[in-house]
């Protein structure tokens, strides 16, 4: 278990999303301070640049992340 390298600037971790899900605290514990390499935001950020990054993507949206990554 480790902290995500995006912790300081990530809008999700810092409650700066347009709407935060009810599960935000659980997701922060699970992804941001744990298995961050499985976080949808983390995975997409490694592939897409900031310009194309979907700001509303949530850590647990794996399917959406896969689609975005596949579409390039
Ligand atoms: S795990 Fe995902 S949501 Fe959490 S800080 Fe990293 S990129 Fe952001």
Q: Whose CA is nearest to atom 5 of ligand 1?
A: 7
Ligand 1 lined by 43 (C-beta under 6 Å)? no
Give me the pLDDT at residue 2, please: 93
Decide: residue 61, CB within 10 A, 0-12 exposed, 13-18 middle, 19+ buried. middle
Distance 39 CA to ligand 1 centre (A): 6
Give me the pLDDT at residue 52, please: 77
Per DSSP, the residues of 46-61 read HHS-GGG--TT--TT-
Which pLDDT tens digit goes with each residue over 23-51?
Answer: 999 999 999 999 999 999 999 999 887 77
How far is Cα 10 from Cα 55, in angstroms, rounded to an integer? 10
Ligand 1 lined by 27 (C-beta under 6 Å)? no
How far is Cα 19 from Cα 5, in angstroms, rounded to an integer? 23
pTM of the complete model beyond 0.95: no
Distance 23 CA to ligand 1 centre (A): 14
């Amino acid at each position: 278990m480790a902290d995500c390298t995006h912790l300081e600037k990530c809008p999700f971790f810092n409650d700066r999303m347009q709407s935060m899900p009810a599960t935000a605290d659980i997701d922060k514990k699970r992804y941001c301070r744990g298995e961050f390499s499985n976080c949808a935001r983390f995975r997409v950020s490694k592939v897409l640049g900031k310009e194309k990054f979907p700001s509303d993507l949530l850590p647990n949206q794996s399917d959406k992340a896969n689609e975005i990554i596949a579409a390039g």
